[in-house]
């Protein structure tokens, strides 16, 4: 038996549960929210697609009933307020820190061995908060951000190349912020060909710039933050953990010396398996990428300092 809890049944949480069910890799999903009836209604709606899509995952919705989440293998935190147009992810810190702290505490009581995956924004800082306050080992706390940003990167690359997104490889490291993420254009490929050989510099620069504001572009159009991308990105990571696939994902993890950083949670490539983060993969960075990573880490640490100023983290 395998079980995943998704906390928050809003746009991202519900889509996350739906995407995981479609991968048919988990026996049970519990969707939990504070809004009476929301999780229950969405869970029933999704279950009524099981026959149509052919998945066997059971999805149950509950209101505030953490006992129902007991013995989860993965707990996903989507509870929190989303961005509005013009807002940065960092502006959500005050409200979301309180929510994340309380739901992690509740879920931990019933699933002390779970891997916790943080989606609520500002994601790097919420991951750091969870790592510092939960008592969980560093392999059990993962932030979903890099996988989503990388998927957006390959989307923009595919548009520029006129290629199928599945034929394009590219990863984004660093913070999950409009100015902190680092799409690694030097390492992106189109069926083994470096994209830098196929795209003019201006076109490549535009792909990088569009990727960095990929989330804000959608927020500007919808009036709230995206959900299909975040839900699908989290689901691919959950599958690797549940099935112990040990695939590499760019995601937010606690560093202790890797990439020359410590006391920070930030996006780097990591192997995800049954223990959560199995290994951080220290890919080689160019001098420019290294400088960008240092700058990104500085900005993420600055946002983390707000938690210290609020006395939420020592």
Q: Which of 5, 18, 69, 96 binds ligand APR (CB under 6 A)?
A: 96
Region from 74-82, 156-164, 179-187, 250-258 binding ligand APR, contact rule CB under 6 A: 74-82
Cβ atoms of 129 and 121 within 8 Å: the answer is no
Cα separation of 104 and 133, whole Å? 9
| Alpha carbon 253 to chain centroid, angstroms | 11
Cα separation of 173 and 215, whole Å? 15
- How is residue 265 written in tokens? 């949670």
> For the chain, what percentages of helix, strand and coil (3-state, to nearest 5) are there?
50, 20, 30
Cα separation of 76 and 143, whole Å? 9
10 makes contact with ligand APR (CB under 6 A): yes
Find the binding residues for ligand APR in span 110-149 (CB under 6 A): 119-121
The 207-226 site mask, x for binding ligand APR (CB under 6 A), equals -----------------xx-
**Is 22 tagged catalytic?**
no
Q: Which of 5, 11, 139, 180 binds ligand APR (CB under 6 A)?
A: 11
Cα separation of 266 and 287, whole Å? 19
34 makes contact with ligand APR (CB under 6 A): yes
Question: Is residue 77 within a helix (H) or strand (E), and if so which, with residue range?
Answer: strand 74-77
> 28 or 33, CB closer to ligand APR?
33
Cα separation of 202 and 15, whole Å? 35
Q: How far is the CB of 64 from ligand APR (least distance, A)?
A: 7
User: For residues 205, 185, 258 and 134, what is the CA-based torsion angle, rounded to 10 degrees?
Assistant: 70
251 makes contact with ligand APR (CB under 6 A): no
3-state secondary structure (DSSP) of residue 279: strand
Q: Which of 2, 3, 5, 8 binds ligand APR (CB under 6 A)?
A: 8
Q: How far is the CB of 164 from ligand APR (least distance, A)?
A: 27
Q: How far is the CB of 82 from ligand APR (least distance, A)?
A: 4
Find the binding residues for ligand APR in span 167-196 (CB under 6 A): none
Cα separation of 110 and 185, whole Å? 42
13 makes contact with ligand APR (CB under 6 A): yes
Catalytic residues: 176
Residues that bind ligand APR in the complex, under the rule CB under 6 A: 7-13, 33-35, 38, 78-80, 82-83, 92, 96, 99, 102-103, 119-121, 224-225, 227, 230
């Amino acid at each position: 038996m395998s079980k995943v809890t998704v906390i928050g049944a809003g746009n991202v949480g519900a889509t996350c549960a739906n995407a995981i069910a479609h991968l048919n890799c988990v026996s049970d999903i519990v969707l939990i929210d504070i809004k009476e009836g929301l999780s229950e209604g969405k869970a029933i709606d999704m279950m009524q697609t099981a026959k149509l899509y052919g998945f066997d995952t059971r999805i149950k919705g509950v209101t505030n009933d953490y006992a129902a989440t007991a013995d989860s293998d993965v707990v996903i935190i989507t509870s929190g307020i989303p961005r509005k147009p013009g807002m940065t992810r960092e502006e959500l810190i005050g409200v979301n820190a309180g929510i994340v702290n309380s739901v992690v505490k509740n879920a931990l009581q019933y699933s002390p061995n779970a891997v916790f995956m943080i989606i609520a924004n500002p994601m790097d800082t919420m991951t750091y908060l969870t790592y510092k306050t939960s008592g969980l080992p560093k392999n059990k706390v993962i932030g979903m951000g890099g996988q989503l940003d990388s998927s957006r990167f390959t989307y923009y690359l595919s548009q520029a190349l006129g290629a199928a997104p599945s034929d394009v490889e590219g990863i984004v490291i660093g913070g999950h912020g409009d100015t902190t993420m680092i799409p690694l254009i030097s390492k992106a490929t189109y069926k083994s060909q470096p994209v830098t050989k196929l795209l003019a510099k201006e076109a490549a620069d535009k792909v990088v710039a569009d990727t960095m504001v990929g989330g804000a572009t959608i927020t500007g159009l919808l009036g709230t933050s995206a959900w299909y991308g975040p839900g699908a990105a989290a689901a691919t990571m959950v599958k690797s953990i549940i099935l112990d696939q040990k695939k590499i994902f760019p995601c937010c993890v606690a560093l202790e010396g890797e990439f020359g950083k410590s006391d920070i949670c930030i996006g780097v490539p990591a192997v995800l398996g049954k223990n959560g983060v199995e290994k951080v993969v220290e890919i080689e960075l160019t001098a420019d990428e290294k400088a960008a990573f240092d700058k990104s880490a500085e900005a993420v640490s600055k946002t983390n300092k707000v938690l210290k100023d609020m006395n939420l983290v020592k």
